[in-house]
Structure 1
Amino acid sequence: MVARLWRGTTLGVRVIAFDGDGLLLVRHTYVTGWHLPGGGVHAGETTEAAARRELLEETGYAADGAARFLGLYFNPLAAGRDHVAVYHMPASTPRRAFRANHEIAESGAFPLDRLPDGTTAGTRRRLAELFEGLPPSDRW
């Protein structure tokens, strides 16, 4: 309870990005499942800049062209104070080879109709909102 009094709201980003027809996903070292690339927003950084940085850091891909802001989602599982901004970056280009590290175990590009087992529910919901017309939720 004391931690909640002293800690502020956190802000993160996730990116729906593609390598051709393959959706870029990452598998973390510290939590199960396949996730959209993303992470925390640094002080003095816009959410779009953070999304572009995280995409490059986690996958080795740089977004090409404009980013489309899709929404801001509340993530109640992260201590009840986390919010996630989601961007769609339909085209990207590899800038460096992916190398597993202390945070990201694996990165891959998957066709939307063949997502890997373990793709998280939040990831699947964001994709359904964007590509299948599912009404947007305000929760991750």
Structure 2
Amino acid sequence: MTVPLQLASHLSRRSDLVTLGVQGVIANAASEVLLVRHGYRPGWHFPGGGVERRETIDRALCRELNEEAGVILVQPARLFGIYTNFEVFPGDHVVLFIVEHWRQDHIPAANAEISEQRFFALDRLPRTITAATKRRLDEVFGGAERANTW
């Protein structure tokens, strides 16, 4: 279906729409954290993505982790926080989970969405890690106070 140009323009200006994304903090047995690098935006991020229409948050997290990193949840992830991300979009929210029980049966091949994934030691994070990702790691592992904004 093609959206008429006038309608598409109207929707892109709507400030009352709400978008929702999920991301997962995954650490391995060596206390290294899994980060991904996208093909369409700079920096290293947690694996995750958007919640689709008629999809639960838990299901979206499972789907995104498997698609982006080959990670399968063995037990439900633990909710860490819900953040606003209004700099990206006026109604954007990010739900962050701690993934403690997981397995990685395969590593997906690089593609247009995820160009690379890797585990990093907390004291050897990549230089191009995003500021928001670094702040979340400081909250999760460093005891920093949890913010409300991404």
Give TM-score, length-normalised by structure 2: 0.85
Tell me which residue corresponds to 1:67.
77
Picking from 4, 10, 25, the partner of 2:13 is 4
Q: TM-score, normalised by structure 1?
A: 0.91
Residue 86 of structure 1, CA deviation: 0.4
Give the aligned partner of residue 86 of structure 2.
76
Aligned partner of 2:115 in structure 1 is: 105
Which portions of structure 1, spanning 4 or more consecutive aligned residues, are displaced by more than 3 angstroms?
Answer: none
Percent of aligned pairs with the same residue?
41
The structure richer in strand per residue is 1
Matches within 5 A, 1:27-106: 27-106=37-116
2:149 aligns to what SS in structure 1? coil
Structure number, greater radius of gyration: 2
Change over 3 Å in CA distance of 1:71–1:18 after alignment to 2:
same
Q: Which amino acid aligns with 1:52?
A: C
Q: How many residue pairs align between the two structures?
A: 140
Q: More deviation in 4-13 or 52-61?
A: 4-13
Q: Which runs of 5+ in 2 are unaligned?
A: 1-8
